[in-house]
């Protein structure tokens, strides 16, 4: 199971794109609200989540936790003690994917030390101990990072490839491909 953590102020594209594409790939995904059952994004899109952070069991086995960015969304994730507890468990036992400003949380927790990582331009100093990359998406062991809303598709395909293989990621990419 993949858990997508959403806090008020999340960047909609960075949350909805992975949620949709991961579901299309046949991977179970569950949205987790930090701050209630209804969470409002940075551009005023409100979503009803599957469960709240209080219902989430950090000791529960999972495949991945995904953190979308959005400045205030990232700050709201960072300030929640249970989110931090969940991330520590996921880092030790499974994997984490973070995009835009959200990799800064991983940097603060020391999860990026010695790892290659990327983030929203200008946030590089928050990736404490990381080998900074300017690639759209970086996978290093059990951590996936990405740069922002413009890389949400690549981020989503990378998550699918990590969890279900390149063939499945390519199949989903083929389904959503734009033809110009």
Q: Is 55 exposed, middle or buried (0-12, 13-18, 19+ CB in 10 A)?
A: exposed
Band (pLDDT 50/70/90 cuts) for residue 177 is confident
pLDDT value of position 98? 98
Considering only CA atoms, which of 52, 42, 43, 46 is closest in space to residue 5? 52
| pLDDT tens for each residue of 44-93 | 999 999 999 999 998 778 899 999 999 999 999 999 999 999 999 999 99
β-pair partners for 64: 2
Q: Which residues span the domain enclosing 95?
A: 2-176
Query: Active-site residue 118, yes or no?
Result: no
With a cut of 70, say whether residue 178 has pLDDT above it. no
Q: In the prediction, which pLDDT does 179 show?
A: 55
Q: Which of 30, 86, 100, 119 is catalytic?
A: 100
Q: Cβ distance 22 to 49 under 8 Å?
A: no
Report in angstroms the alpha-carbon separations of 103 from 19, 144, 173, 174.
Answer: 18, 9, 24, 28
Q: Work out how many domains the chain is built from and give that number.
A: 1
CATH number, domain containing residue 42: 3.40.50.880
User: Quick one: pLDDT at residue 90?
Assistant: 96
What is residue 137's predicted lDDT score, i.e. its pLDDT? 98
For residues 102 and 54, give the distance between their C-alpha atoms in angstroms, rounded to a whole number.
21
């Amino acid at each position: 199971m993949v858990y997508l953590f959403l806090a008020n102020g999340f960047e909609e594209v960075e949350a909805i794109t992975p949620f949709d594409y991961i579901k299309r790939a046949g991977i179970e995904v569950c949205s987790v609200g930090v701050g209630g059952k209804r969470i409002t994004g940075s551009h005023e899109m409100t979503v009803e989540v599957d469960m709240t952070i209080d219902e989430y069991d950090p000791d529960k086995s999972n495949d991945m936790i995904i953190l979308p960015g959005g400045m205030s969304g990232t700050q709201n994730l960072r300030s929640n003690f249970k989110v931090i507890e969940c991330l520590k468990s996921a880092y030790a036992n499974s994997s984490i994917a973070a995009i835009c400003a959200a990799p800064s949380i991983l940097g603060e927790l020391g999860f990026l030390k010695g790892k290659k990582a990327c983030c929203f331009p200008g946030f590089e100093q928050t990736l404490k101990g990381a080998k900074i990359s300017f690639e759209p998406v970086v996978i290093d062991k059990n951590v996936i990072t990405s740069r922002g809303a413009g890389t949400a598709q690549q981020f989503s395909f990378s998550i699918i490839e990590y969890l279900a293989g390149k063939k499945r990621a390519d199949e989903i990419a083929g389904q959503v491909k734009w033809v110009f």
